[in-house]
Amino acid sequence: MCRLFGLLSNRPCSAFRYLFGDQCSLFAQSKADPSRLQGDGWGIGFYASGCLRVIKSERPIYEERERFKSIAGSIESNIIVAHVRRASNPRGLPREKLISVENSQPFHYENYVFAHNGTIMIPDEVKGLLGEWRLRIRGLNDSEVYFWFIIKELHEGGSIAEALRNFEKDLWRVWFEVRDKHPGKTRPYMGLNMIFSDGERLYAYVSTMRG
């Protein structure tokens, strides 16, 4: 399970308390459960003078305490999206292939920023939905497929709500076509929880699946 943070304000403000300072901050949550550490990278996206900036690391956030503290304390923005990662691995890859800056979140394109908590269980099959957008994938994080699907839908004139509905619908459609190839899996995803911004609005979506 990853952890997400999103802030929307009518004026630029600091999120230091929520990112680092408070006992329930994102930093504190990353190591709250020793059996399920979020130790596979972190990132923060925010807007400065209307332009998106993203800072990411592949290292455990609790091993970069002072760096994260400094960055969290330096940001003032009206929209902030942050993510700490516990890597999912639906492809069964060696761990070293999963940990890199390219695989850390949030993902971004133009002025869009996105962070996901969950697992897309059939990412390689779902890439087929992306068309030429699949060529923009840089890592092996299954969440990146989700991100580029949303971007594709927006560039085709859809809304964020339509993109989310279409992604879930298409996930199920592809799943029923390929599930016989995945005997160890029982569903196409575990959680589609996400935070997304276009620089003007902040969107949050919760869609979980258990069992």
Give the pLDDT confidence of 171-205 residue by residue, as tens digits: 999 999 999 999 999 999 999 999 999 999 999 99
pLDDT lower than 50: segments of the chain: 211
Q: Summarize pLDDT for 71-81 with one digit per residue, the tens.
A: 999 999 999 99
Whether the model pTM is above 0.85: yes
Q: What's the pLDDT at 211?
A: 39
Q: What's the pLDDT at 58?
A: 98
d(CA 77, CA 96): 34
Q: What's the pLDDT at 138?
A: 96
CATH class assigned to 3-205: alpha beta
* Residues whose CB is less than 8 angstroms from the CB of residue 173 and which lie 6 or more positions away in sequence, other chains included: none
Q: What's the pLDDT at 39?
A: 94
d(CA 202, CA 195): 7
d(CA 130, CA 151): 9
Question: Does residue 192 sit in helix, strand or coil?
Answer: strand
Q: What's the pLDDT at 192?
A: 96
In sequence order, the β-bridge partners of residue 43 are 56, 83
CB–CB of 197/5 below 8 Å? no
Break the chain into its structural domains and give their ranges: 3-205
